Amino acid sequence: MGRLEGKVAIVTGAASGLGAADARLMAAEGAKIVLTDVNAELGERTAAEIDGAIFVKHDVRSEADWRNVLDKTLTHFGRLDVLVNNAGLVQFGTVEDTTLEQFRLHNAVMSEGTFLGCKYAIPVMAKTGGGSIINVSSIAAIRGNSPVLAYTAAKGAILSMTRSIALHCQEKNYRIRCNCILPGAHATPMTAAAIAALGGAAAGIEQIQQHGQGRPEDVGNLVVFLASDESRYITGAEIVIDNGETSR
């Protein structure tokens, strides 16, 4: 049997990049996957490549969409064991350049989207005996990166929120773990766009040039571990996966 046999997982932002890798690797270990994304065309194609997976169009900023995702998950699979809050975006701007609208957009998608996912998933998981929530932050949450002010703020909120959610679930005896992954540079469409837009002088680009990028599967393997019962004693943790970038 696979490491995730019998488990049902929702992965947001799963049409491509890290989310798609998470979905594929969890499915390979036996999980049933609900992929969600705002990009319905790409999301449907990705889901079609994963045996038994379904796709639901989903704007993580919307409470109604979150209710719909949970309803479809329960209707189709009857339970929920794993939530991967992966959906995100990045637009470039320093504290002086970033507009209020840009700042609010980043926080609506990543901070509020993660909050809503946890808020609606926790009661469902609690009814079926517990589960694992995996929030995807970034090393931008723990180091400065001036060209992406709004992104760093939203990712920092995810990191802080994770700790409080983990403690809440323990206090309620829900048997739900909540952990946070902080990736560095990985070869995804978002990273490629950032390299093209920022150029060689930006923070983090030198790291990529000297030490390369991780593969989406590197993060996906960590997601599989945190989703599995192998990580049953890990909650409230922040796990950096950046090839030593934050140590340099």
The residues that are catalytic are 151
What residues pair up with 161 in beta bridges, in sequence order? none
**Token pair 């192998």 in the structure block, residue:** 230
Give Cβ neighbours of residue 59 (< 8 Å, ≥ 6 apart).
38, 65
Give which of 146, 77, 144, 154 is closest to 114, Cα–Cα.
154
Are 122 and 178 in contact by the 8 Å Cβ rule? The answer is no
Residues in the chain: 248
